[in-house]
Structure 1
Amino acid sequence: MDEERSPGAFEIPTESDFQAPSRAERRDQQVQRVLDAAKACFLRSGFQGTSMQQICAEAGMSPGALYRYFPSKESIIQAICEANRRQDAEKFAAMEKSSCVVEGFVACGLDHLTFTHENGNAPIFAEIATESLRNETIRAIGDGCMAEVQDRFRTYLHQAVERGEIDPIVELDALLPMILAIGQGLAISDLLGRGVSRDQLEIMLRASMEALLRPRRPA
């Protein structure tokens, strides 16, 4: 009969405990290292005031190593936006499974704002938004991401209209830019970091979405 292991007993490491990360895992780690360094530099000096050399120093990498992953500051911003887009895709999938359009929309928005707050992304989003006003490449990156979000929301809300679940206050082509502008403003403002509780934010989001989408109550 096997001896029972006592609490705190030494465990012999297995071969799997010493497996080195794969090439793809090492690359992902290096990319994240650069992104974290770039965020720190952008927040400290702004996009315009940050050089690739400063990012190298912050990341503790040689220029050759850095340029292997990112040829420019704009490509770093692209990667930051892509990482955020992937996170949003998961939230969209959950939203689309909701049995209530308004509740799905509120849950998606609340999750996005919470993620933005917990990961400290609000300042970097503000920096990207500011830089997009003077940098056409950054503007194109932001517009591309927002267009994808808008298309996803348009499909979601259009289907709800077709099912007779909501009666939006204006047509969707006018409403969607408004909703996205509100969402972007809330993300940058980081109300959760300013003392507004998640419960309070949820109540206000729901009230706003009900006013804009006008859900039809069952007879």
Structure 2
Amino acid sequence: MATRISKTPQSPTQKADKKRIEVLKAAGKCFRKTGFHQTSMQQICAETGLGPGAVYRYFTGKEAIIEAMVEDERRQTRAMLIQMRDAESIQQALSNTTRLFAERYRAGGDASLMTEVYAEGMRSKRVGTVLRKIEAEWIMGLTNLLRIAQARGQMDASLDAAQTALFLTGMWDGMVIRQHFHAHDDQHALPAFFEMMIARLLTRESKPEKPGKAAAATQANTAAPANEAREPAEAADLRQLSLI
């Protein structure tokens, strides 16, 4: 006689989490099709196959659904920062991140969903507050990584790390939107070009004028204190990064 393998029963919390994820997926599908404001809660209910009462049990409305999507984005960005921290070099970390952004938003209309979420964050104070928190965490984490790379000599030390973090993030956001409108092109060409340009940006150093004897002496006298000051700064950045 065949032995029946019984499935482990799900707890009420696990069932609720599963339903919640199903509602988020259905809502995301609707938002991609018609946009956030054109989508009604009735459409989301129809997409899930659940009644309004069941959907409202998990989310009070569309704004709450957007907030949950933003929180999911927060978890993913934290995971991405940890991956970047564990890379062999900043160049490798940024190269991997470029590919991750490209692959994540290439299919399924996620680029359009991303723009819907950010647009709503500009309209809604409630959603905007959550988005700004995620943005601050992401930029701080990336800035710390860049500063550590500068201290290790892996990156042009003359660049402002915080502004570079903002610039890189803007490049990645722009890349995922551009590849949506150029989907017929080689899907690897644009990310590869971005990788190359980022590497050039971070390693480019201007050629200084040859210092005279007096300037050379001044540099020799100030080199040791500068190096000593850099070590505690790097240690502080590492401590901050460990909190991520």
**Offset of residue 94 of structure 1:** 2.0
Tell me which residue corresponds to 2:5: 14
* Two-structure CA RMSD over aligned residues (Å): 2.5
Structure 1 residues 169 and 200 mapped into 2: Cα distance closer, same or farther (>3 Å)?
A: farther
Structure 1 residue ranges, 4+ long, deviating more than 6 angstroms after superposition? none
Deviation at 1:67, TM superposition (A): 1.8
Question: Contact 2:140/2:162 (CA < 8 Å) preserved in 1?
Answer: no
Aligned to 1:159: 148
SS of the residue corresponding to residue 47 of structure 1 reads coil
Aligned-pair identity in percent equals 26
* Gap runs ≥5 in structure 1: 1-9
Give the letter aligned to residue 3 of structure 2.
Answer: I
Partner of 1:3: none
Matches within 5 A, 1:3-42: 12-15=3-6, 18-42=7-31
Q: Structure 1 residues 215, 156: closer, same or farther in 2, change over 3 A?
A: farther
CA contact (8 A) 1:56 1:62 kept: yes
For 2:164 and 2:34, locate their aligned partners in 1 and report how far apart those are by CA, in whole Å.
36
Give the Cα–Cα distance (whole angstroms) in 1 for the partners of residues 179 and 170 of structure 2.
14
> Is the counterpart of residue 79 in structure 1 residue 68 in structure 2?
yes
Q: Please give the TM-score of this superposition, normalised by the length of structure 1.
A: 0.81
Structure 2 distance, partners of 1:215, 1:95, is: 21
**Aligned residues between the structures:** 205
Distance (Å, rounded) in 2 between the aligned partners of 1:25 and 1:14? 20
Answer yes or no: is 1:89 the counterpart of 2:78.
yes
Q: Which sections of structure 2, spanning at least 5 residues, go unmatched? A: 206-244
Conserved 8 A contact 1:116-1:122: yes
Paired with 1:196 and 1:108, the residues of 2 have a C-alpha distance of 21
TM-score, with length taken from structure 2: 0.73
Find the counterpart in structure 1 of residue 240 from structure 2.
Answer: none
Distance in 2 (alpha carbons) for counterparts of 1:41 and 1:145: 24
Do the aligned residues in 2 keep the contact of 1:122 with 1:189 (CA within 8 Å)? no
Equivalent residue number for residue 188 of structure 1: 177
Q: Is the 8 Å Cα contact of residues 117 and 190 (structure 1) preserved in structure 2?
A: yes
1:116 aligns with 2:105: yes
Alignment of 1:171 with 2:160, yes or no, is yes
